Chains A and B, each alone.
Chain A
Amino acid sequence: MKTTRTLRRASQWVVFLLFAFLFLNTEYKDNDVLPYAVNLFLRLDPLMAGAATLAGRALIGVVWPALVVALLTVALGRFFCGWFCPLGAVIDAVDATVYRKAWRKDVVPESWRRYKFLILFFLAASSLFTLQWVFLFDPISILIRTFTVSVFPALNLVLHQIFDGLYRAPGPIPRVSEPVYGFLKSHFLAFEQPVFRTSAFVGLLFLGILVAERYQRRFWCRNLCPLGGLLALVGRFGLFRRRITEEGCTRCGLCESNCRMAAIGGDVAVTDHGECIECMDCQAVCPEEVIHFSGKEGRRPTAVDLTRRGVLASVALGAITVPFFRVEAHGKAPDPLLIRPPGALPEGEFLARCTRCGECMRVCIANGLQPTWFEAGIEGMWSPILVSRIGYCEYNCTLCGQVCPTGAIRRLPLQEKRKVRLGLAYVDRSRCLPWAGQSDCIVCEEHCPTGSKAIVLKEERTLTPRGEWEMFKKPYIVEELCVGCGICETKCPLADRAAVLVTSRGETRSTGVLAR
């Protein structure tokens, strides 16, 4: 009975290809509105939906598919992890290609699997008290963030290096390589090489998840993944489950040794339905064909290996940590360079909802949205910040609001988005070329996108460094018109620090509802 296992493998491939397709289409492709729900996977994630709802104290309509997944889990068990999770698919692929059985060094104690529940309870308790850091452990968030910030940019760089090399190669080589390059360019490669802060760090963390496979199959899913924990708690009631026709079973133990989740324990007829991800391997390897998965004859759910003390401790810890984060000074004096995407909610609600998935950074047309390190505190790590020296907010673009899976960045129509002020620009008069009497320039004024320009030039008498009076056109900021898009800072010709800079002063979102 290998059909079901083949089906499961096919499902993993299809899901991963769908994931890749949506990832690659999280990009401006000559269309102001993205034609696909590119954030589908995040909206299917009940953990993220639950945490954002709890912490943000708001019903988030767009995450309704997560409810469907939760309900399906009640009926079908923890199928999501085996059939649908794209991170699970990546882990299984790495497992099959890198860690053959000979490579494995199984040293992790069975008892570690309770940590995923403890992490889940910890995160749930913090979320209940407004501190949301599910993003640290949520598999969908991790995968999209890693691909956005780290894997895809690196892959893009390598491919570019290769094809640029071939392009400059002598003889007929470019004639062969260029059509391939053209195809890749239109379907796969980034329009321009993306760069991200934290990219190496994010990549290393992901590598950690893959390296852990060496010490246990599905190490991440068994021991750490809180989404897996949540689905295990729900899925152990599932009606569709592994069953054995005991008469034919020879107790050969093949099913037990092949179980990637170690969900078959002691007696091969006993299944931990919370841990079983219904990968169907046991059914495929069973020589007697006595294992089947079916929805007939329900049974009691299996127990979860948890102590009351452990549960209480993790819940208490989750709640207790919150006030320590709430007295961090950045709450009172936020980093002036903490410029959020257009349509972002006030800071408290924003962090409660932001999944750190990196969708907004992926779609940002000028590469301006970057992950934070600690500008918004430890709690705000990897949340999006506009770094204008890297890229600016395109005046006619609304893509980040379209891809945000939890509404942390509101989806605004273009007319409204243009009115959102991210911050205000100011001129550093000691460095600005005309202000310092060095030369005329006007680049900031030229690029200013507001119809009536928020940067105006006034021709004024200025003392040059040589001590002579000359006329220069000096830029002034018209604050009523400035939207803080940062294109002036991006394009300022001074090579290192721009002479026109944007800070968060005057940002629209904090003049509305007060940030918690």
Chain B
Amino acid sequence: MIRRPRVDIVSAGAYHARMITGGCPFSRRRFLQVAGGAAGVLAASALFPSLLRATGEKTVDVGISSAASPAERARGAVALVGGMKSFVSRGDVVVLKPNIGWDRTPEQAANTDPEFVVAVAGMCLAAGAKSVRVFDRTCNDARRCYVSSGIKDAVERFARTNRVEDVLRIYHVEDRKFVRTSIPNALSIKEWDLYRDALEADKIVNLPIAKHHSLAGITLGLKNMMGIMGGNRGQIHYRLSECLVDIHRRVPVALTVIDAGRVLVRNGPTGGNLADVKTFGKAFASRDVVAADVVAAEKIFRLAPRDVGHIGKAMESGLGISSGAQIRLVEG
């Protein structure tokens, strides 16, 4: 049986468990385990920073920024995990993959905030990227999504004002550029059509928006990479979790920056009602997409990672770093 994750939002700072009648996904015991573990790790790592390294385990930083604007949050979160230069090298071809999936406005919080996208694009350029490409395979008509989301206009305006039209480009996905790609050791999809530009990029920067999703429970960094998939994506909803793991194995992302400024908490992933949008005012960044998702799920939606099917599957399959002990939260 799949337990249905209840999606709820906590105001920043007030991080407390609440009993939910009927199918409680997050019992008091579970909360104490998670919170206790996290607190313990935090305390231990704060007191003995060398302890973790001494054990020889990998650790990963997750930066959490609570700055005022989307752009500042994006810059803040990336700075907290070492700055864009630790992810993008001079001369890299970078693909930025925001969520532009829906014919919705920024206020409706179904797509990544345009300012957020532009800020990350600017950081990539500053880090010396040779070219920065922005695209998504949309669910509604692509032209409408690019326009309504505000992302096309924002990126083009930024490129114009900074005279970088040749370097920073936003464009539509074309069918002919999907390449049948085999995925070794796949859990579910042995081969699939993936977008050439993503396969050929030196670095992929994953720019999801955090929101409610009816099947996946919530959608964050792992799910956002569906945007590079061609073919009948509806079919992978049969085994969504495994498919997402397969995609990330084949096309690893260098950096995930999650936009959690406005969060759609109901009627996702499409939304439309402003009443379903809550202001959360944060951004999360990490080089490890699983770690970013684990932290964002807990912080935004109070969901334990194992309660979100695809994050749980990613943890099981060892895709990234997910254990609380190896994740270091850097807030700013």
Contacts and interface: CB of A to CB of B under 8 A. Distances in A.
Interface residues of B, number: 32
A459 interface: yes
Interface in A433-459: 433, 439-443, 445-453, 457, 459
Interface stretch (A60-68, A389-397, A400-408): A389-397
A177 to B, nearest CB: 12
A440 B2 contact: yes
Nearest to A442: B215
B234 A394 contact: no
Contact of B148 (A164, A365, A396): A396
Contacts of B232: 493, 495
A495 B238 CA distance: 14
A395 B215 contact: no
Interface string B130-151: 0000000001111110111000
Interface string A371-414: 00000000000000000000000111100000000000000000
A206 interface: no
Interface string B1-36: 110100000000000000000000000000000000
B214 A28 contact: no
Interface in B141-172: 141-144, 146-148, 152, 172
A164 B4 CA distance: 45
6 contacts: A365-B144, A443-B234, A446-B269, A447-B139, A449-B270, A493-B234
A397 B144 contact: yes
Given A167-B176, A491-B234, A446 B267 contact: no
Contacts of A449: 103, 140, 270, 272
Contacts of B172: 191
A451 B273 contact: yes
Contacts of A441: 215, 234, 237-238
B203 to A, nearest CB: 24
B105 to A, nearest CB: 10
Contacts of B235: 493
A145 interface: no
A34 interface: no
A365 B141 contact: yes
Interface of A: 28-30, 164, 167, 191, 365-366, 394-397, 433, 439-443, 445-453, 457, 459, 470-471, 473, 491-493, 495
A443 B226 CA distance: 14
Nearest to B274: A451
Interface in B54-76: none
Contacts of A492: 234
Nearest to B276: A451
Given A28-B141, A28-B144, A446-B269, A396 B103 contact: yes
B140 A394 contact: yes
B103 A443 contact: no
Interface of B: 1-2, 4, 103, 139-144, 146-148, 152, 172, 176, 213-215, 232, 234-235, 237-239, 267, 269-273, 276
A453 B239 CA distance: 24
A471 B238 CA distance: 14
A30 B143 contact: yes
Given A167-B176, A451-B273, A446 B213 contact: yes
B267 A452 contact: yes
A447 B237 contact: no
Given A164-B176, A446-B213, A440 B270 contact: no
Greatest chain A CB density within 10 A among B2, B140, B232 is at: B140
B270 A366 contact: no
B189 to A, nearest CB: 14
Contacts of A440: 2, 215, 237-238
B215 A452 contact: no
A24 B223 CA distance: 37
A446 B272 CA distance: 12
Contacts, number: 87
B301 to A, nearest CB: 18
B86 to A, nearest CB: 34
A462 B31 CA distance: 31
Given A441-B237, A443-B237, 12 more contacts: A30-B147, A164-B176, A167-B176, A394-B103, A394-B140, A396-B144, A433-B238, A441-B238, A442-B215, A448-B270, A451-B276, A492-B234
Nearest to A456: B214
A161 B302 CA distance: 51
Contacts of A433: 238
B170 to A, nearest CB: 12
A448 B272 CA distance: 10
B214 A451 contact: no
Given A395-B103, A493-B234, A366 B141 contact: yes
A453 B264 CA distance: 14
Contacts of A447: 139, 270
Contacts of B215: 440-442, 446, 473
B1 A446 contact: no
Contacts of B276: 451
A459 B237 contact: no
Contacts of B214: 442, 445-446, 457, 473
Contacts of B103: 394-396, 449
Contact of A451 (B2, B143, B213, B271): B271
A286 B238 CA distance: 78
B150 to A, nearest CB: 12
Nearest to A30: B147
A164 B147 CA distance: 27
Contacts of B141: 28, 365-366, 394, 397
A492 B234 CA distance: 7
Nearest to A191: B143
Contacts of A397: 141, 144
Contact of B267 (A167, A451, A493): A451
Contacts of A439: 237-239
B67 to A, nearest CB: 30
A48 to B, nearest CB: 30
B298 to A, nearest CB: 23
Nearest to A31: B147
